[in-house]
Amino acid sequence: MIKFPRYYTPLQKLGSLSLSSAAYLILAFLMLPILIIIPLSFNAEPFFTFTDGMLAFDPAAYSTKWYTEIINDDKWILAIKNSFFIGICATLIATFLGTLAAIGMSNSDMPFKRAIMALLLSPMIVPLIITAAGMFFFYTKLNLAGSYLGIIIAHAVLGTPFVIITVNAALAGFDYSLVNASLGMGAKPTYTFFKIIMPLIRPGVISGALFAFVTSFDEVIVVLFLAGPEQRTIPRMMFSGLREQISPTILAVATLLVFVSALLLFTLEFLRGRAERIRMGEL
């Protein structure tokens, strides 16, 4: 039973119920196509549709063989290793650069602040196909196309804006008198950064790092332009599988990605709640 404030009129109650219902309907519209993938990944037949046996809940119609194929396929194993290796390396670079950029942009004396911020956030604004094409022509001259280093740098560029946004939000309510007090007492800038600034903005830094990792882990267009056969990632393998050889193995991989994404989202929500509790405790 939904409880409304006593001062709500019948029209306000109806409006609140309508808003809640619309929100749940939109959520269902967005989530159902993703949730349907999960039971389909256990289909015993090589189909992308529900068989009669699955609809009748026949145990023989369900199988985990598509998950076994992931383990037994060297290409998928290489793609998984590449996705985590590239994602972790790109996340470390993006987190380092994005955190420093956000701290620098938080300085009120920073000249051309708006123009620099727009430039730093441009990878989020410019269509990805244009960014990938530009990187391809630029990396070709530097012999970075078809290399791990080239893809890591490209993914770091795409992930850095997310770190800047989250860290900048964490710095919005930052009390710089703490920094001045630390420096005034003789502490070195590096000590002040790691002991004063970093503990207070850590939730924003970690949130930005998770966003950067998800961006790298899910990216396919840049990989299509820059990756060679040895740098294939999970999204690249899924894209190739849909175009060349349709197999329910793709659904099994997609299911695993859904669980990884859900884990990251729960982590972000936990960090957001923790940061809120810390902020309220300070208030």
pLDDT, one tens digit for every residue, the chain (283 residues)? 567 777 778 888 788 888 888 999 998 898 888 888 888 888 888 877 888 888 888 888 888 888 888 888 888 899 999 999 999 999 999 999 999 888 888 777 778 888 888 888 888 888 888 988 888 888 888 888 888 998 999 999 999 999 999 888 888 777 777 777 887 888 887 888 888 788 778 888 888 898 899 888 888 888 888 888 888 888 888 888 777 667 788 888 888 888 888 888 787 777 767 666 665 655 4
What is the widest separation between alpha-carbon atoms in the chain?
75
What's the sign of the alpha-carbon dihedral 125, 126, 132, 138?
negative
Structural domain total, the chain: 1
Determine the Cα–Cα distance for residues 213 and 85; give it in Å rounded to an integer. 10
Q: Would residue 39 count as lying in a domain?
A: no
Residue 159 covered by a domain: yes
56 in a domain, yes or no? Answer: no
Distance CA 126, CA 124 (A): 6
CB-side exposure of 48: number of CA atoms within 13 Å? 10
Q: What is the pLDDT of residue 45?
A: 83
Residue 43, helix vs strand vs coil = strand
How far does Cα 110 stand from its chain's mean position?
29
Chain center to CA of 255: 16
For the chain, the C-alpha Rg in angstroms (whole number) is 24
User: What is the predicted pLDDT for the residue at 283?
Assistant: 45
- Identify the domain containing residue 187 by its residue range: 81-282
Q: Which residues, 6+ apart, have CB-to-CB distance to 271 below 8 Å?
A: 203, 206, 207
139 domain residue, yes or no: yes
**69 belongs to a structural domain:** no
Q: Across the strands, what pairs with 76?
A: none
Give residue 97's pLDDT: 92
Is 227 a member of any domain? yes
Contact indicator for 152, 169 with CB cutoff of 8 Å:
no
- Contact criterion met (CB below 8 Å) for 143 and 80: no
Residue 259 has a CB neighbour count (10 Å cut-off) of: 10
Instruction: Let me know if residue 32 belongs to a domain.
Output: no
> According to the model, what pLDDT value does residue 281 have?
57
Question: What CATH number has the domain bearing residue 91?
Answer: 1.10.3720.10
pLDDT at residue 90 in the model: 94
